[in-house]
Structure 1
Amino acid sequence: MKLASIDNNTRDGQLVVVNKELTKAVKVTEIAVTMQAAIDNWNETECKLQTVYENLNAGKITNSFDLSSVRILAPIPRAYHWADGSAYVTHVELVRKARNADLPESFWTDPLMYMGASDAFIGANDDIEIENEDWGIDFESEIAVITNDVPAGTTAEKALSHIKLITIINDVSLRNLIPNELSKQFGFYQSKPWTSFAPVVVTPDELGDFWTKGKLHLPLYSTLNGKCIGSPNAGIDMTFDFGQLIAHAAKTRSLMAGTVIGSGTVANEGSINGSSCLAEVRCLEIIKEGQAITPFMRFGDQIEIEMKDEEGNSIFGKINQKVKKYIKK
Structure 2
Amino acid sequence: MRVATFTIGDERRVGLVDADAGSVAPFDLSADAARAGVVALIGRAVPATLSPLPLDRVRLDAPVPRPARNIFCVGKNYHDHAHEFSRSGFDSSAAAGAVPKHPIIFSKVPETVIAHGEPIRIDPSVSAAVDYEAELAVIIGRGGRGIRAADALDHVWGYTIVNDVTARDLQGRYSQWLIGKSQDTFCPMGPFAVTRDALDLGDTVIRCLVNGELRQESNTRHLIFDVPTIIATLSAGITLQPGDVIATGTPAGVGIGFDPPRYLRAGDVVRIEIGPIGVLENRVEEIAR
Same fold (TM over 0.5): yes
State which drifts further: 20-29 or 170-179: 20-29
Shift of 1:170: 0.7
CA distance in 2, matches of 1:9, 1:201: 22
SS of aligned partner of 1:122: strand
Shift of 1:327: 3.7
| Unpaired stretches in structure 2, ≥5 consecutive residues | none
**1:167 partner amino acid:** T
The residue number in structure 1 matching 2:216 is 230
Shift of the 41–247 alpha-carbon distance from structure 1 to 2, 3 Å rule, reads same
The residue number in structure 1 matching 2:23 is 24
The residue number in structure 1 matching 2:283 is 322
CA distance in 1, matches of 2:241, 2:214: 37
| Unpaired stretches in structure 1, ≥5 consecutive residues | 53-60, 268-274, 283-291, 309-314
Indicate which of 156, 161, 178 corresponds to 1:188: 178
The residue number in structure 2 matching 1:199 is 191
Cα deviations across residues 39-77 of structure 1 (Å, max 9, x unaligned)? Answer: 36633234x36xx4xxxxxxxx6x211111111011110
CA distance in 1, matches of 2:231, 2:205: 22
> Over alpha carbons, which structure has the higher Rg?
1
Shift of 1:119: 3.5
Root mean square deviation, CA, Å: 2.7
Cα deviations across residues 251-306 of structure 1 (Å, max 9, x unaligned)? Answer: 11211110000111134xxxxxxx2x2122x2xxxxxxxxx224311111111111
Aligned-residue sequence identity (percent) comes to: 22
Counting helix residues as a fraction of each chain, which structure ranks higher? 1
Question: Are residue 110 (structure 1) and residue 102 (structure 2) matched?
Answer: yes
Shift of the 106–319 alpha-carbon distance from structure 1 to 2, 3 Å rule, reads closer
**1:261 partner amino acid:** I
Shift of the 21–113 alpha-carbon distance from structure 1 to 2, 3 Å rule, reads farther
Indicate which of 59, 66, 75 corresponds to 2:54: 66
SS of aligned partner of 2:43: helix
Counting strand residues as a fraction of each chain, which structure ranks higher? 2
CA distance in 2, matches of 1:218, 1:117: 27
Indicate which of 66, 88, 91 corresponds to 2:78: 88
CA distance in 2, matches of 1:13, 1:20: 20
Residue-pair matches, total: 281
CA distance in 2, matches of 1:303, 1:254: 34
Question: Are residue 253 (structure 1) and residue 238 (structure 2) matched?
Answer: yes
> Is the 1:40–1:148 contact (alpha carbons within 8 Å) kept by the matching residues of 2?
no
> Is the 1:199–1:319 contact (alpha carbons within 8 Å) kept by the matching residues of 2?
yes
Indicate which of 137, 142, 153 corresponds to 2:146: 153
CA distance in 1, matches of 2:209, 2:82: 22
CA distance in 1, matches of 2:131, 2:87: 19
The residue number in structure 2 matching 1:164 is 157
Shift of 1:35: 6.9
Question: Are residue 79 (structure 1) and residue 67 (structure 2) matched?
Answer: yes
> Is the 1:38–1:45 contact (alpha carbons within 8 Å) kept by the matching residues of 2?
no
Shift of the 319–109 alpha-carbon distance from structure 1 to 2, 3 Å rule, reads same
Shift of 1:14: 1.9
SS of aligned partner of 2:284: strand
CA distance in 2, matches of 1:38, 1:198: 11
> Is the 2:83–2:98 contact (alpha carbons within 8 Å) kept by the matching residues of 1?
no
The residue number in structure 1 matching 2:34 is 34
> Is the 2:256–2:262 contact (alpha carbons within 8 Å) kept by the matching residues of 1?
no
TM-score (norm 1): 0.77
> Is the 2:73–2:249 contact (alpha carbons within 8 Å) kept by the matching residues of 1?
yes
Moved over 6 A (4+): none
CA distance in 1, matches of 2:220, 2:35: 25
Shift of the 125–216 alpha-carbon distance from structure 1 to 2, 3 Å rule, reads farther
Shift of 1:31: 7.1
The residue number in structure 2 matching 1:138 is 131
CA distance in 2, matches of 1:119, 1:138: 18
**1:176 partner amino acid:** D
Indicate which of 217, 229, 232 corresponds to 2:203: 217
TM-score (norm 2): 0.86
